[in-house]
Structure 1
Amino acid sequence: MEELRIPVSVIVERRPASTQWVDHVWVPVAVLPAPTVAKPWTVLHRHNGLTAYIAGQAEVELHPSDTLGYKANLDSGRPMLWVVLRPGLDEPGMELHRVLADPTEAEAMVTVGGEEVIEPVPMPGPVREAMEAFVAQHHRDRGFYKRTRDRADPEALAARPRAGGGGHGRG
């Protein structure tokens, strides 16, 4: 099965926090529908404690087996991409990990938790168009299948005589 990889660039802001426990927060703000030539974490601008970066580039990976999630995303009326950032050792202390198109995959990552930042951003038109074409080509509706249970065997848990003559000890 063929997958599709869509190159994108990610814009992230480092904003002053409004809490006493941390001094800043990381907020993905946009995904651009093209790879970047800028080095990761190039500063775009600084203003009033906010710093905007081009975090780098990633690929939105679309897999034929995941079209149900992509279709749900597209049918939502407001398709999104989820940017995943992880703490990093190099400046500025974060790294771009992935960009996801499947809301169920993003939700699973949020549920696991940790130090990752996982935030939705609007899906750019060219990415949406590529995803629509991919879903049209690969999505197959699966009908509802109700499983029938095996009938219970009432003797399955009954007491059975021990092998070897019924003694209580081993061997």
Structure 2
Amino acid sequence: MYRTLPVGVVLRKTPGVTRWAAWSWTASAVLPGAGAADWRELRREGEAVEYHAATLALELHGAETEAYLHGLTAKVPSLYVVMRDDADGDCPLDVLLVTASPYEAQDYTDSGEEIVEKVPMPAGLIAWVREFVEEFHEDEVFVKRRRDKKRIDLVQDGVGDARISQISDVYASPARKRRLH
């Protein structure tokens, strides 16, 4: 219950819209079945440049079919590209993961350290994921929990731990001392 497919990630670099960010990076496309790549330039339109930044294995697991099914039923079925800023390296972003699971993508957004981009799936990739889900997905049967038969309306038979001796009633209020004037 495990399948993989190499998927290329295309990143698009455009000029930033503020003076604090010189460039804006987005994941613009995925390339199913792509070969190895290391920031190869694909296309240039003015100042906008698209790079085949990396090729990673898209892994599908049988235990995650519910998540894949949720992603396929979205208005636009998508893959999620997880990246991290790489200030020390030659490339501005390090592509970490490509996933078809919106649940896994959500886990990466929780930390705030990674950048998660949603990229529409090509038709062939939608068919590949759908075939996997149809083969391995099993609906979980809802089982209603039944209450136990313990009676809760009975009188309490003791106070506290029976192994510890009690000098007085633990619920009694302290005795008031009366003073004579």
Q: TM-score range by the shorter chain?
A: 0.7 to 0.9
Aligned equivalent of 1:105? 104
Residue 101 of structure 1: CA displacement? Answer: 0.2
- Greater relative contact order (CA < 8 Å, ≥ 6 in sequence): 1
Aligned equivalent of 1:131? 129
Aligned equivalent of 1:159? 160
- State the alpha-carbon separation in 2 of the partners of residues 99 and 67 from structure 1: 16
Give the 5 Å matches for 1:1-171: 2-37=1-36, 39-88=37-86, 89-114=88-113, 116-148=114-146, 159-160=160-161, 163=164
Residue 85 of structure 1: CA displacement? Answer: 1.2
- State the alpha-carbon separation in 2 of the partners of residues 95 and 15 from structure 1: 17
Aligned length: 161
**Alignment-mate amino acid for residue 95 of structure 2:** L
- State the alpha-carbon separation in 1 of the partners of residues 147 and 26 from structure 2: 48
Residue 166 of structure 1: CA displacement? Answer: 6.9
Task: Give ranges in structure 2 of 5+ residues lacking alignment.
Answer: 168-181
TM-score w.r.t. the length of structure 2 is: 0.77
Q: State the structure with more CA Rg.
A: 2
Residue 25 of structure 1: CA displacement? Answer: 2.0
- State the alpha-carbon separation in 2 of the partners of residues 35 and 48 from structure 1: 26
1:84-125 Cα deviation digits (max 9, x unpaired):
1112232222111111101111122112212x2211111112
SS across alignment from 2:128: helix
TM-score w.r.t. the length of structure 1 is: 0.81
- State the alpha-carbon separation in 2 of the partners of residues 136 and 5 from structure 1: 16
Q: Is the 8 A contact 1:10 1:31 kept in 2?
A: yes
Residue 132 of structure 1: CA displacement? Answer: 1.1
Residue identity (%): 30
